[in-house]
Structure 1
Amino acid sequence: MIRLNWTDEQKNRIIELSKQGLSSPKVAQQMFDEYGINFSRRTVARFIATGQTSSRYKGKPKSKVKDVKRGTEIVINKDGSTTSSTTMQMTQEQAKDPEFVLRAHGFNPDDWDIVSARNNFWQQNSVENGLIDLYQSKITVKPKVDDELTPQDIANLFKADIKPYTVKQVARDTHNLVVPLPDLHFGITTMPDVKGHLDRLLELINKGYKTIVIEQLGDLFHSSQMWSSQTLKGTLLDEVNMVQAVEDAKQFFDVLVTASLKNSTTLHIKQMAGNHSGNIEYMFMEYLKAKYPQVVIKNNIQFRDAYLLDNVGIMLAHGDLAPKNLPMLFANEFGGVWSLSHSREIHKGHFHREKIVDEGGVISRQLGTVKPNDKYEISNGWTLSKKELYALEYDSDKLVAEWHI
């Protein structure tokens, strides 16, 4: 084998071609085309990595390697989606930005939605930039549909025709009323399903109370999406009309909130996100804030919350997470409410059936729902629970009446 003595010009040319992103075989081919000399691919690769041309070189490789541009693999799937795989440099924050990831793969965020994305991270030394973050990024995207509802469309549904509503509030009693609303699942549930319950609830509210608290305990809507029917985790559900679901929820709360304002000194609404529709529930609470400035609304996206109603401590949860540990979590996470309470309760839902347990002096109320049975519940035989709303009346220290509506 002829041993070549590379000139400085040839060495610089190899470095230049490598910086352009050419692989070692392509660099070797380009060098042959330009100089008419057969440069070994292996020797070229060694030179790029170590700066040495001889196989006898035993020193440690350079700790810094060249940046190498890598190609992008595009696969068009049968369902109309497209899968793109590439290696890129980005930060961890950029990896969490759907628009950045789409653009990095060459897709316009105005025209494409991400179906799934996976970014695998590692670090590499670069001659030019030092230690850099690299990601092996793989995404599956689908074209946006012209008539698909955008986030702005959803926001407009909640904000349409909002005129702030105020009333003169008059208290007629020293008692407080709590109205828990777990698992209404609007989309499956419609206004005709709740009208009778709402009428009876209004009769009770019209008695007048010092403070009324409406507890939205999660799963206000059946779906987390407006265009497709699925939970927050992507579980597919029976198809529902979410535009109508929003309108039904607005009508239900407009009636309930208006009556509660007229018959109390103070009205609170407490929000707990459910596993079905926590994202849309948050937006819905913002609609209520805009329309009813007199209402004290706590828009909560945490897993648990607690509040004092005079001397009664009440902890809220949707009910799907840590259900057996809630009394201890109440004491540890909300020590202020716990220590000031003369009596303590937990209000939760999720399981669509009623269960009341005294857990070491904490009354844990798992509340049912008025939601009609869907196909999944019917197929599994989960159809025996009562369909009721509840209202809980308290004096300053304890529960004095439990209303089944």
Structure 2
Amino acid sequence: MGYTKWTDEHKNRVTELGKQGLSSSKIAQRLFDEFGVNLSRRTVSRYLSTGHTSSRYDKLKKNTNKVKDMKRGTEIVINKDGSTTSTTTIENMNREKAKDVDFVLRAHGFDPEDWDIVSAKSNFWQQNSVEKGLIDLCQSKITVKPKVDNELTFEDITEILKQEIEPYTVKQVAHSAHNLVIPLPDLHFGVTKRQDVQNHLDRMLDVINKGYKTIVIEQLGDLFHSSQMWSSQTLKSTILQDVDMVAAWNDAKWLFDVLVTATLKNSTKVYVKQMAGNHSGNMEFAFMEYLQAKYPQVVVHNNIEFRDAYLLDNVGIMLAHGDLAPKNLPMLFANEFGGVWSLSHSREIHKGHFHKEKIVDEGGVISRQLGTVKPNDKYEIMNGWTLSKKELYALEYDSDKLVAEWHV
């Protein structure tokens, strides 16, 4: 699904729909329905407010490469790579405000709707003022780049996922008093392909078809290899090997469509528990929105916190991606989720991140660090991290404890 340039017909239609009170997202959808073009919500919003379809970068580029705003004490440099560097002194900007991307952009005179920060550096000091006494000052230097008109925002991705989704419902039947948990850590779709998962999925379906009271699918993070669609990088902008993210989305949809359909047919209740990973937490949140829209019978917990916990009959299970505070998880379980902790007869922690299996009894809490079926990428091969086995698990519980561990 590609993006196209604006025409006068598009502009006239946007203006007409805007006068009717339609939102930017709905106007973008109407243009897609009427003209078969896919204009971004951000561009539509910009045109409605300014009459322009391009970002302010095009105007800045016509000026000289270096501009000084003496009133603001700001120096702006337009770089050859298309980015812009701004240096300015800001009064009363504390360390918390320096972490607020929108605040920093506005302090430099950039609209957060039109610009992204590439890098930022802040230096703080205090200075005596005749009028105000001791004041806090900050020299802030940022490099920004204009947002691309065809770059999908989180809102754009969510709306696209929800378009033309026909909700799927089935008659659910319980075959057992036992519960089943299916942990899915570090699938890294993009590197992982459908053929890497197929045999594991076939064996998983054999287990699911036995029938259970409740089935919980745990998405433990890093469902996708990249946090972006057009470049391959983590949430912290670590550059990765290139992957096809369109294919990655299709493979993830295929896996969950098969899994969720099978679990709905073989249980009376299905839950999907989401735990964002360090690679693709933003993409995972949008993907959970797709699942909830398509499968209204499934209870999707679209979690964006660092940890989560739930009670499965009398079994308490804490979830974490595994990259943060790994040594403190049992105590964090007890302190952050006291309700689940106090009501559970047995307790477990399910996590991933390290791509290798490790099960430890930590003071009565079974900590399961789960491996991955992801093929080794170039970085792992280079470092020799290629020895871990490739398996998925299905964990079967009665009302109080684990009774079976299925290796698939």
Fold conserved between structures, TM > 0.5:
yes
Q: Is residue 365 of structure 1 aligned with residue 365 of structure 2?
A: no
Report what 2:75 is aligned to.
73
When residues 137 and 204 of structure 1 are mapped into structure 2, their CA distance, relative to the original with a 3 A threshold, is same
Counterpart CA distance in 1 for 2:162 and 2:389 is: 35
**Which stretches in structure 1 are left out of the alignment for 5+ residues?**
1-67
Counterpart CA distance in 2 for 1:94 and 1:315 is: 33
When residues 134 and 161 of structure 1 are mapped into structure 2, their CA distance, relative to the original with a 3 A threshold, is farther
Off by >6 Å, runs of 4+ in structure 1 = 90-94, 122-133
Counterpart CA distance in 2 for 1:203 and 1:225 is: 35
Q: 1:330-375: CA deviations, max 9, x gaps?
A: 2222222222222211111111111112222221111111111100
CA contact (8 A) 1:149 1:227 kept: no
CA contact (8 A) 1:154 1:226 kept: no
Counterpart CA distance in 2 for 1:367 and 1:294 is: 28
When residues 317 and 103 of structure 1 are mapped into structure 2, their CA distance, relative to the original with a 3 A threshold, is closer
CA contact (8 A) 1:355 1:367 kept: yes
Counterpart CA distance in 1 for 2:130 and 2:351 is: 58
Report what 1:235 is aligned to.
238
**Which stretches in structure 2 are left out of the alignment for 5+ residues?**
1-69
Q: Is residue 83 of structure 1 aligned with residue 85 of structure 2?
A: yes
Equivalence map 1:263-302=2 (5 Å): 263-302=266-305
**Alignment match of 2:327 (pick from 300, 324, 327):** 324
Report what 1:385 is aligned to.
388
Shift of residue 77 of structure 1? 3.0
**Length, aligned pairs only:** 338
Q: Percent identity?
A: 81
Q: Tell me which moved more, 147-156 or 341-350.
A: 147-156
TM-score, scaled to structure 1: 0.76
Equivalence map 1:85-100=2 (5 Å): 85-88=87-90, 98-99=101-102
Counterpart CA distance in 2 for 1:161 and 1:185 is: 26
Tell me the secondary structure at the aligned position of residue 194 of structure 1. helix
Tell me the secondary structure at the aligned position of residue 204 of structure 1. helix
TM-score, scaled to structure 2: 0.75
Q: Tell me which moved more, 299-308 or 212-221.
A: 299-308
Q: Is residue 246 of structure 1 aligned with residue 249 of structure 2?
A: yes
Q: 1:128-155: CA deviations, max 9, x gaps?
A: 9999876533210123345433434422
Tell me the secondary structure at the aligned position of residue 268 of structure 2. strand
Counterpart CA distance in 2 for 1:80 and 1:148 is: 16
Counterpart CA distance in 1 for 2:129 and 2:167 is: 59
Counterpart CA distance in 1 for 2:272 and 2:134 is: 51
Tell me the secondary structure at the aligned position of residue 245 of structure 1. helix
Counterpart CA distance in 1 for 2:164 and 2:124 is: 47
Tell me the secondary structure at the aligned position of residue 181 of structure 2. strand
CA contact (8 A) 2:154 2:286 kept: no
Report what 2:211 is aligned to.
208
Tell me the secondary structure at the aligned position of residue 356 of structure 2. coil
